[in-house]
Structure 1
Amino acid sequence: MAGIGSKMNLPGPLRIIGKKHIEQAGQWVPSLVGYGTAAFCGLLYFTDWKAVMKYVPYYNIPFKNEGEEK
């Protein structure tokens, strides 16, 4: 019997989606990584997350001067 998943050796739910859809989704990965990175940097900028941003060059200058004010 020839079913939908018999032509491909894909595991589980990937048989329903199909090889073409998986290849198309793979082409979106670089864009998703780029937009995700930009969104994460924007989040760090607008929230001013000191735990991470104090290690970023040129951006950490305000954090270096906080301990010297006392």
Structure 2
Amino acid sequence: MNTVCVHVDENMDSDLMKKIKLGLLKDNNISNVEMNPKQPHDILVEYKVSPNLPLEITNQLKKFGLHSYIWGA
């Protein structure tokens, strides 16, 4: 299992966080998505080994109109 930390430039409210979590969990390679309302810019994603998945996560976030980058893996 791998973990990637993603930083989102925009503020996310609880409704958007829920939509993002549900959207990311549709990917069979993603096992868990953690977000904290006290840190509304950070997303922690656990995923099965997949070399391109971190980039795919940032692409998924673009679909929500968010600008993000990977800051830890």
TM-score relative to the length of structure 1: 0.26
Name the structure with the higher strand share. Answer: 2
Rg larger for: 1
Give the structure with the larger helix fraction. 1
